[in-house]
Amino acid sequence: MNDHSENLGRRGFLTAVGLVGAASALSLGSASTAGAAPRAAAAADGKGGHWSGSRSANGWPVKEGTGRPAGIAVHRVEGSNASVALLTGDVATVLLHVTRRFHYEIRTLGAGQVHGHTADRTVRADQESNYLSGTAVALCPDLYPAGARGGLFPHEVTVVRDILAECQAVVCWGGDDPVAPKEGHFQIDVRPGDAGLRKLAEKIEKWNRTPGEGAGTIDAFTPRRLRAAEAMRARQRV
């Protein structure tokens, strides 16, 4: 089976019975981010606080100002009724791809179910500061609140792991936060100017221009992709 096929990952899960055991194994254990981005500690205890820094926890400048801050734009999530405010350029390209895969393979996203940039500096954990820079998304935050685990089925976690592997450590998942997990949270996990971010965005842009490739065409349950997902999970573990 081709990695980019007309069968969505969740359909592949239902048909690829022989892969269920391997897929479920990917959902076990927790990992933290790859460590490429710097870390701050405004809310490290998971109890919440006020983020006072000029940069978010992943090292990107906080975007503030009257009205819509410079560099922040509202983007439509293709294939859905959702839209989200993100930092324009490569960051938006990557996070929109992640969001579309979640929409197609895990849970349908509607209007108001994708949160991005905010000017509210109240955070419950360091990772939430990344909304201030427009470099993170929260998908269905009411369903996947901070501090809660187990909101995703094992095969859905396998899809998440496949997304992370596809993004080659440029993106990390809030469900791996050891203090305040947030399973609908995805963030850029490299510094501004990182070559890996540019390379990934270029790859996604090419997929978006090519029929039959990219979000909506991927089977996360092929043996090769399962192996890559497990390798990335091990790589992102502290």
How many whole angstroms separate alpha carbon 58 and alpha carbon 192? 9
How far, in Å, are 17, 49, 73 from residue 114 at the CA level?
32, 23, 14
Judge whether residue 18 has pLDDT over 90: no
Q: Is 150 exposed, middle or buried (0-12, 13-18, 19+ CB in 10 A)?
A: exposed
What proportion of the chain, given as a percentage, has pLDDT over 70? 79
The residue extents of the domains of the chain are 9-235
In this structure, which amino acid lies at residue 238? V
**Interval 218-234 mean pLDDT:** 94
Judge whether residue 31 has pLDDT over 80: no
**Interval 89-115 mean pLDDT:** 97
Judge whether residue 230 has pLDDT over 60: yes
Q: What is the pLDDT of residue 47?
A: 58
Q: pLDDT confidence of 13, banded at 50, 70, 90?
A: very low
Q: If you average pLDDT over every residue of the chain, what do you get?
A: 84
Q: What is the pLDDT of residue 165?
A: 96
Q: Do 132 and 60 touch, CB atoms closer than 8 A?
A: no
Helix 223-235 and helix 154-166, axial crossing angle in degrees, nearest 10: 80
Q: pLDDT confidence of 190, banded at 50, 70, 90?
A: very high
Q: What is the pLDDT of residue 91?
A: 98
Q: What is the pLDDT of residue 208?
A: 93
Q: Do 133 and 53 touch, CB atoms closer than 8 A?
A: no
How many whole angstroms separate alpha carbon 164 and alpha carbon 215? 13
Judge whether residue 72 has pLDDT over 90: yes
Element (H, E) at 224: helix 223-235
**Interval 204-211 mean pLDDT:** 93
How many whole angstroms separate alpha carbon 232 and alpha carbon 51? 30
Q: What is the pLDDT of residue 66?
A: 76
Q: What is the pLDDT of residue 212?
A: 84
Q: SS3 breakdown of the chain: % helix, strand, coil, rounded to 5? A: 35, 15, 55
How many whole angstroms separate alpha carbon 75 and alpha carbon 89? 11
Judge whether residue 140 has pLDDT over 90: yes
How many whole angstroms separate alpha carbon 129 and alpha carbon 187? 10
Q: What is the pLDDT of residue 37?
A: 52
Is the model more confident about 99 or about 212?
99
